[in-house]
Amino acid sequence: MKRTKAVLIIGGSGFVGSHLARRLRNKYKVFATYYQHQIRIPEVTMLPLDVTERNWIKRVIYGIQPDVIIYAAGKNNPQWADDHSRDAEQIHTNGAASVSTVASILQPRMIYLSNSHVFDGSRGNYKEEDVILPHSPLGKMKVSGENYIRTRSLNYIILRSGPLLGIGNGIEMTLIDRLRIALSKGKKLELSPYDFQSYTSIYGIIDLIEKLIEGGPRNKVLHYGGLNKLSEYELGIEFAKYFGYDPSIILEKRYAGEENDLYYSDYSLNFTQAISTLKAQPFFLKQCFDLIKQNFVG
């Protein structure tokens, strides 16, 4: 009889981690960690974990002996990383190093979730083999985390994605939550028109991670994103139109001194490898909104 795999999600109370736990619990024995905010997910074992406490990490990993560890801790928010640099580095870099070091004896499959900010944003359509040269603190932290995973794991996948669209878990608000709340109240919301990303659905990357749990390439970097490249401001306009809100209350965010130094960044990802090797499903923006609408109803 085939044994059910044990999956440990580091950062299980976050946006991505909680969505992962809800999906994977139907197929695997799922353990998920939280730091300050415990959430309850039926059929998922929630465990407290501080990624700076190596002894406690040992107790958790050696006790569970997971077949797969998914490192989903932290926030993929450049502004948060700027404002909380020490905490962000502890989570994205040092925490990944501690978990991968402790787990190295057991050698589970390690899946480290990274993002497009590892690139400089100068041209977009980045492939996995392109040179990484981050400008932001978040990007530099993610690069360091990726490097630790590479050096300490014999069976890893580094999965970089564009920003993920979906409903939050009641603890951490997503961009979609912010849009929905502001627009439903008729409140003006300023969004950046400068950074272009390949936004995609949270459900698309979860499907891809499930395939990676079952197999696929080893010791590789993979990209995943959406089929539409647009700015946060353009996303807000399209969201308002799709859900029947007034798009005129979505405003372009302006920054001091920008008149003399406008700079547009393109962090979009090329994810041909994920499509060809794992049959990953790419989403158009409307498909992402369709899935969000279904979950509003749910």
Residue 176 in any domain: the answer is no
Q: Give the pLDDT score at 158.
A: 98
Residue 94 in any domain: the answer is yes
Residue 238 in any domain: the answer is no
The whole-angstrom separation of Cα 98 and Cα 105 is 13
**Cα torsion 58, 29, 218, 18: sign:** negative
In 235-294 the beta strands, taken as DSSP E runs, fall at 250-252, 265-266
List Cα–Cα distances, 158 to 145, 274, 290, in angstroms: 10, 12, 28
For residue 297, name the pLDDT band (cuts at 50, 70, 90). Answer: low
Residue 144 in any domain: the answer is yes
Residue pLDDT, tens place only, 59-99 = 999 999 999 999 999 888 888 899 989 999 999 999 999 99
Residue pLDDT, tens place only, 145-168 = 999 999 999 999 999 999 999 999
What is the chain's mean pLDDT, rounded?
93
Do residues 94 and 57 touch, judged by C-beta distance below 8 A? no
Q: Give the pLDDT score at 298.
A: 45
Taking the CA of residue 74 as centre, how many other CA atoms within 13 Å lie in the half-sphere pointing to its CB?
A: 33
Do residues 218 and 155 touch, judged by C-beta distance below 8 A? yes
Q: Give the pLDDT score at 172.
A: 81
* DSSP code per residue over 49-96: --TT-HHHHHHHHHHH--SEEEE--S---HHHHHHTHHHHHIIIIIIH
Least confident of 21-25, 77-81, 184-188, 281-285: 77-81
Look-up: residue for tokens 């580094």? 158
Amino acid letter, residue 177: D
| Total structural domains within the chain | 1
In 154-264 the beta strands, taken as DSSP E runs, fall at 156-161, 164-165, 189-191, 195-197, 200-201, 220-224, 230-231, 250-252
Q: Give the pLDDT score at 259.
A: 53
Residue 179 in any domain: the answer is no
Residue 86 in any domain: the answer is yes
Do residues 217 and 155 touch, judged by C-beta distance below 8 A? no
Q: Which domain holds residue 74?
A: 6-165+201-225+269-281
| Structure letter (DSSP) for residue 227 | S
Residue 182 in any domain: the answer is no
Residue 171 in any domain: the answer is no
Q: Give me the CATH number covering residue 80.
A: 3.40.50.720
Q: Which residues are paired to 33 by β-bridges? A: 47
Mean pLDDT for 121-133 is 95
The whole-angstrom separation of Cα 71 and Cα 88 is 14
The whole-angstrom separation of Cα 228 and Cα 242 is 15
Residue pLDDT, tens place only, 270-294 = 999 999 999 999 999 999 999 999 9
